[in-house]
Amino acid sequence: MSFQAYLDNIETKTGLTPRQFIELASEKGFGPGTKATPILEWLNADYELSRGYGMALVHVITKGSQISAKHVGTDSAHADPSDSLWLDGKATNPASAGT
């Protein structure tokens, strides 16, 4: 599953976009420099997100939308079309237009 697919599935499950999670995390004092464990504990307790899904949000909360280009344009299971994640909701993602 691509990184973006993880974020889209989280939105389906919770009704919240990645950008909304970043804002909620900031309100809790989480951001760049925060270790994964407290964020994962919060996401599991409040949203029942597993570690895998939680780690996708840990990345955007602590590092933003930029991801490694390692899988971009590959045929791997984790391939993403871009090294920049869409954080404003899957319905508004221009890369999803027409799909």
Residue 83: both structure tokens together: 């090294």
pLDDT per residue of the chain (99 residues) written in tens, 0 to 9 = 888 999 999 999 999 999 999 999 999 999 999 999 999 999 999 999 999 999 999 999 999 998 888 767 777 766 788 889 999 999 999 887 544
Q: What local confidence, expressed as pLDDT, does residue 71 receive? A: 66
Q: What local confidence, expressed as pLDDT, does residue 68 receive? A: 82
Query: Model's pTM, two decimal places?
Result: 0.87
Give the separation between CA 42 and CA 68, rounded to whole angstroms.
Answer: 26
Domain boundaries, the chain: 1-66
Which residue from 34, 26, 35, 94 is spatially nearest to 18, judged by alpha carbons? 26
Looking at the DSSP assignment, which residues form a beta bridge with residue 84? 66
Q: What local confidence, expressed as pLDDT, does residue 29 receive? A: 98
Confirm if 83 and 39 have CB atoms less than 8 A apart.
Answer: no
User: Residue type for 10, please?
Assistant: I
